[in-house]
A and B are shown apart, each in its own frame.
Chain A
Amino acid sequence: METVLFALYALTACGGALGVVLSQNVVRMAFWLVVSLGATAGLFFLLHADFVAATQLLIYVGGTVVLLIFGVMLTSSSPFAAMKTTPAELLQGGFLGLALLGVMLTTVLAVHWNENNEMLRQVDSQVNDLTYNPPETGNTSRPIGTALLGARFDRDLRPESEGLSPSLSPGYLLVFEIISVHLLVVLVGAAYLARAKQVVRNRTDSRSPEQTAA
């Protein structure tokens, strides 16, 4: 069952991505992007990351793509049909992309992930105090939330075994705060950058640069 679902979602995601690449129309590209992002959310669900998947759907699909559509709408003008890439560039891009894919796949397939993980698990438990604790279920909102507040229950509340002292790992509180400020700054910056100005419409006036700079 899991395999089927995985195959479904994987193929959808890859197909959507390909659709993005191969479309000529920006709006169609946006649609295929939605498809791809949705399939990704499904993959997340399969990986026991409920909270992340939900966030993905909310923000990416519901927010970012909408944003992109808005952008397309605001910047549409007649000459976008003339924006075609030359076949030479397409070939070059495709070739390089495939080369990159090959490289990455080679890397991925060359590593024996299971043996590595086993080894790391043993090493971790002996040397470090880190505990190896992947989420068993998808019920991650609580652990994530508390992690964001600074308390790592998934890590710090393990049973005491011999030779291991109790630890208190730092959470993600600081990062949380930084991200908040960052969002604020981005908001302000974006608002400033995209402020309303007089749009130049094929005027040969010398006044136009000053106006647009205003």
Chain B
Amino acid sequence: MLLTISWLLPLAGFVVELAASRWMPRTSRLPAWFAVGCISTGFLLSLTALGIWSFTTAPAVVSAPTAIAAEPVEHPTAKQPTAKQPTAEQPESEDTESERTATTHADPLARAWSGTFYRIAQFGHLDLSLDYYIDGLTLVMFAMVTLIATCIHLFAIGYLGGELNEELVDHAVTLPDGSHFHRPGRFSLFFAYLSLFCFAMLGLVLAGNLFQIFVFWELVGVCSYLLIGFYVERPAANHAANKAFIVNRVGDFGFLIGLMILCTGLGTLHFASPRGSDRAPGLYQLVRTPQGELTVTGAGREKTVSLNVPDGAPAKSLPYWLLTAAGLGLVAGCLGKSAQFPLQTWLPDAMEGPTPVSALVHSATMVAAGVYLIGRIYPFLTPEVLLTIAYGGCLTLFIGATIALVMTDIKQVLAFSTISQLGYMMLAMGVGGWMAGLFHLITHAFFKSLLFLTVGSVIHGCGHEQNMERMGGLRTKMPFTCWTMFLGVIAICGLAVPMLPPLPWIGTLAFSGYHSKDSILATALAFASSNPVHSLLFLVPLLTAGLTAFYMFRMWFLIFFGAPRDVELRDLSHDAPRVMQVPMFILAIFAVTIGVAGEQGPLVALLRTAEPVAVTAGMLGAGSNWTFPGEQEIHQQHLMAGGAALLTAFLGTGLAILFYAVGAVDPRSIASQFPRTTRFLQNRWEFDPLYEQLFARPVRIVANWCVLLDRHVLDSLLDRLAQGMVRLSGWDRRFDEAVVDRVVTTVGTSTWNAGELLRKWQTGRLRHYVTSITFSVVLLFILLFLCLPGR
């Protein structure tokens, strides 16, 4: 209930702000405060919901006795509509599990609330409805999204202060006569778009069936388009918005294929039905057994997956390759949305939008939607799909990190950093670390949005200057921003205080990024040690962790330290106003503390309540050649992975300090020694020209052919047709004039002539009349005599 309200509030906000942008004066900040109110209320509501959830649902604790986690809990029904029923898959899973591992885990479905908001229609087996599916993951995402959104709304009030004028000069747009473009400010419109985006994102998180996710998926894409292209008059912004939407569309094509396969093969799209309801079992219940196994029979091409139909229903099965294809399709959608290889080209260009947009949409939430989706559809991903995800993520994180090394625009650095971190998450998901990936998602959201906000404050303070090479030594002028960014940079690098024993509640003394990255690398190492052929999946992330540290510190040093490269810029810069400092502060706190205690901490515990059974038990690889590590195995690898990660991170930091802070080695000389590599990296691995050649040019050629076809064939056809029609109408006219008119005129003239003729009869003379009478009488009589039978 609470979640429904907090979900729908931003929609109300959107509507109100659209109205406000019409009616209220442009210089009013009221719409913005209204939006902030909506979203912060949403945050409070989701926090409350989270609290209720945690207290009424016992969190799964690793190595806790079976009894606690076993029973489904009574929920206070007063607040809940009767549509909701908790699924109550019974704890037989616990019994089998307790035999195998000491880790116990109640079936996540026992704690999920799934139900229907509104059933739109039912056509035979096809059931269209608005569903919801609420478990720990949902609540965590809700809280995260609403909190970050609140902070960013506050930040945007300060950042977009320039839009409050009736007329502002847009320096990025030059008119043909050389002057800059003047336009009225669009303050409240921005908040309208932000509210719409929040609504869409929350709807995506809340959705209970795949189709609904897709709907909100698209809506999020639309909002991204609107927000990136917020400065509509700038051609670069328009191109970026188009690119974002189109590349997303390419991914969505795969999504649709996956949807279709699942719908036809499994007959349903919703995740789980409450037990005891009359609906068909949901996807979670269909594909894997309650123990998390994938029942696979046959081999090679004939492999089929038997579906878990309820008792009494006819047995159903799905070809294995079809399930894999469905998985790949859905993953393609995620690749597009989360800017993974090969669909990552849109994210750097999306930095054309205002910085709050980049912070909210393109670092914390929308790009996280892809990872979230993979988390949701985890139970029906076959091992082949998972491995594809892992390699894709691996490649992406490497690409992102290497490009970020040479970027000079601060937002571009962060964009590629985002790509790289998302690659980490994908990698984690791919090697069986469901929890690790999502953990990193949450932490990354916080510290990346923090970083974007600080960068935004730098941009705002330097008068919209984005090139690092012109900055330097801003530490004295912008201390708050400098040290907040420092917190964020440490978080993303994953630094920790080493060699310290874990403290009682806090665990290792580190910021959140360390914990999440640590769990990712632990999972990767576990996977690599079980399947040595895939060792690359561990080595590359390890190396990239060092690269990450290097480029992040590079950025920090270049901005805030050293002699200012543009003294004038330095003199004009100023620190952020209070309204922008507050959100940065809040986010900084969260970036530091959200991952506290790592895998023993509250966040992970909350996530684990929603973890699919397959993951826990390590049953993911059933039926395939690879072993995916279970919790036990991951736990064993922790120490080694963590140590290695920390090592590389410190190495990277050290190098950065060497290059940029101390200035011992000049990076420019290194760059000049590897010119081709540098250029390759600076051109973003030449992806854009590649796609241009591969896709854009053929399309243009085909378009040209179409133009020629249209002009010479179709148009000439139409012309000839038109000429024929003209000729035909000419004949028609002639016919009309010659025949029809003639008939009509003849009738008229003959009548006239007859009249003229008869006219002469009327002489006006009495005697003639009498004569006529007599004559007629005689005639009549004669006729009568002739006609009547005589006597």
Contact = CB atoms under 8 A, between A and B. Distances in A.
A and B directly contacting (CB within 8 A): yes
Contacts of B782: 103
Interface in B764-780: 767, 771, 774-775, 777-778
Interface string B750-788: 000000000000000001000100110110011001000
A170 interface: no
B761 to A, nearest CB: 15
A92 B771 contact: yes
A92 B782 CA distance: 18
B791 interface: yes
A103 B781 contact: yes
Nearest to A92: B771
Contacts of B777: 100, 103
B767 A99 contact: no
Interface string A95-135: 01101100100110010000000000000000000000000
Contacts of B775: 96
A93 B771 contact: yes
A107 B771 contact: no
B783 to A, nearest CB: 11
A96 B779 CA distance: 10
Given A89-B767, A110-B791, A97 B774 contact: yes
Contacts of A100: 774, 777-778
Contacts of A96: 771, 774-775, 778
Contacts of B767: 89
A110 B788 CA distance: 13
A89 B771 CA distance: 10
A110 to B, nearest CB: 7
B774 A106 contact: no
A97 B654 CA distance: 149
A92 B771 CA distance: 9
Contacts of B771: 92-93, 96
A41 B774 CA distance: 27
Contacts of A103: 777-778, 781-782, 785
Contacts, number: 21
A96 B776 CA distance: 10
Contacts of A107: 781
Contacts of A106: 785
Contacts of B778: 96, 99-100, 103
A96 to B, nearest CB: 5
A89 B770 CA distance: 12
B319 to A, nearest CB: 109
Contacts of B781: 103, 107
A161 B774 CA distance: 48
Interface string A159-197: 000000000000000000000000000000000000000
A92 B770 CA distance: 12
Nearest to B770: A93
A92 B774 CA distance: 11
A146 B777 CA distance: 38
B502 to A, nearest CB: 139
A141 B767 CA distance: 40
A99 B785 CA distance: 14
A103 B791 CA distance: 16
Contacts of B791: 110
Contacts of A93: 771
A106 B774 CA distance: 16
A106 B778 CA distance: 12
A110 B789 CA distance: 12
A107 B791 CA distance: 11
Interface string B185-224: 0000000000000000000000000000000000000000
A164 to B, nearest CB: 32
A92 B775 CA distance: 10
A110 B785 CA distance: 11
B778 to A, nearest CB: 5
B207 to A, nearest CB: 104
A103 B781 CA distance: 7
A89 to B, nearest CB: 7
Contacts of B785: 103, 106
A24 B782 CA distance: 32
A28 to B, nearest CB: 20
Nearest to B767: A89
A110 B782 CA distance: 14
Nearest to B772: A96
A97 B791 CA distance: 25
A92 B768 CA distance: 11
A106 B785 CA distance: 9
A107 to B, nearest CB: 7
A103 B776 CA distance: 12
A98 to B, nearest CB: 10
Contacts of A97: 774
A21 to B, nearest CB: 14
B777 to A, nearest CB: 7
B757 to A, nearest CB: 20
Interface string B636-647: 000000000000
A96 B777 CA distance: 10
Nearest to B780: A103
A151 to B, nearest CB: 39
A89 B765 CA distance: 13
A100 B782 CA distance: 10
Interface string A66-102: 0000000000000000000000010011001101100
Nearest to A106: B785
B546 to A, nearest CB: 131
B526 to A, nearest CB: 134
A106 B782 CA distance: 10
Residue among A92, A93, A96 with most chain B CB within 10 A = A96
Nearest to B791: A110
Nearest to B778: A99
A110 B790 CA distance: 9
A192 to B, nearest CB: 23
A97 B781 CA distance: 14
Nearest to B777: A100
A89 B768 CA distance: 10
Nearest to A103: B781
Interface in B725-759: none
A106 B790 CA distance: 12
Nearest to A107: B781
Nearest to B782: A103
Nearest to A110: B791
Contacts of B790: 110
A92 B767 CA distance: 11
A100 B779 CA distance: 9
Contacts of A110: 790-791
Contacts of A99: 778
A96 B770 CA distance: 11
Most chain A beta carbons < 10 A, residue from B774, B778, B781, B790: B778
Most chain B beta-carbon contacts within 10 A, residue among A92, A93, A103, A106: A103
B594 to A, nearest CB: 121
B765 to A, nearest CB: 10
A94 to B, nearest CB: 11
A103 B778 CA distance: 7
A92 B778 CA distance: 13
Contacts of A89: 767
A92 B772 CA distance: 11
A93 B781 CA distance: 18
Nearest to A101: B778
Given A96-B775, A103-B777, 7 more contacts: A89-B767, A96-B771, A96-B778, A100-B778, A103-B782, A103-B785, A107-B781
Sorted from nearest, which 5 A-B pairs have the closest CB atoms? A103-B781, A99-B778, A96-B774, A100-B778, A103-B778
10 contacts: A89-B767, A92-B771, A100-B777, A100-B778, A103-B777, A103-B778, A103-B782, A103-B785, A106-B785, A107-B781
